[in-house]
Amino acid sequence: MIDAQQNYVRNGLPVYLRLRNFPDLENQPWAQMGFSIAPTGAPVGTTDILIAPPPAVQSLSLRNIAASEGKLRFGAKDFLISSSFTDKQMAALGLSNETEVWSAPNVVGLVENGKLFSIEDIRFEQLAGKTVTWKLTCNAVGLGG
């Protein structure tokens, strides 16, 4: 029922989960010493995975942004995502914990209308012991779209 509602009632612009295609570089000795590299070959870059059904997206009010004590910025949004997407990603990525879909080291954030959003807060709702929706509070990172 949630998927049907997301598809037909709360449908918004397409939203993508952006994943980094290379391992975390911050723990490498050369990175800790301040050196940088330009990766070549494969895998490089990022992969965008369409979130289906489309999430419901709501811009946060100035009151919510002010109440976050500096954690959230102008342009912050809440994304309400069906757990069916999370279940499919757990299987596709071989994850053991559903929260890792949103918090794994290779997660860059969400992309909507060419704008990247960092994931700041992850909440979920359950019915009968099963997660049914995810609510991600995200900051707008870039000035795109």
CATH number, domain of 90, equals 2.40.10
Residue 136 pLDDT level (bands cut at 50, 70, 90)? very high
Residues 6+ apart with CB under 8 A from 54: 6, 7, 10, 11, 12, 13, 14, 15
Work out how many domains the chain is built from and give that number.
1
Residue 129 pLDDT level (bands cut at 50, 70, 90)? confident
Strand order across the 130-140 sheet: 46-50, 15-20, 107-112, 115-127, 130-140, 77-82, 56-59
pLDDT (tens digit per residue) in 9-37: 666 789 999 998 876 666 667 666 767 66
pLDDT at residue 82 greater than cutoff 80: yes
Q: Is residue 32 part of a domain?
A: no
Q: Which two tokens stand for residue 16?
A: 């993508």
* 26-30, 57-61, 62-66 — most confident range: 57-61
Q: Is residue 28 part of a domain?
A: no
Residues 6+ apart with CB under 8 A from 91: none
CA distances from 144 to 31, 44, 141 (A): 28, 22, 9
Domain that holds residue 6: 2-22+42-140
Q: Is residue 27 part of a domain?
A: no
Q: Is residue 62 part of a domain?
A: yes
Q: Is residue 145 part of a domain?
A: no
Q: Is residue 101 part of a domain?
A: yes
Strands (E), 1-145: 15-20, 46-50, 56-59, 77-82, 107-112, 115-127, 130-140
Q: 5-41: string of b/e by CB count within 10 Å (b at 16+)? A: ebeeeeeeeebbbbbbeeeeeeeeeeeeeeeeeeeee
Q: Is residue 36 part of a domain?
A: no
Q: Is residue 33 part of a domain?
A: no
Average pLDDT for residues 49-65, to the nearest whole number? 82
The model's pTM: 0.76
Q: Which of 36-45, 51-60, 134-143 has the lowest mean pLDDT?
A: 36-45
Q: Which two tokens stand for residue 107?
A: 């997660």
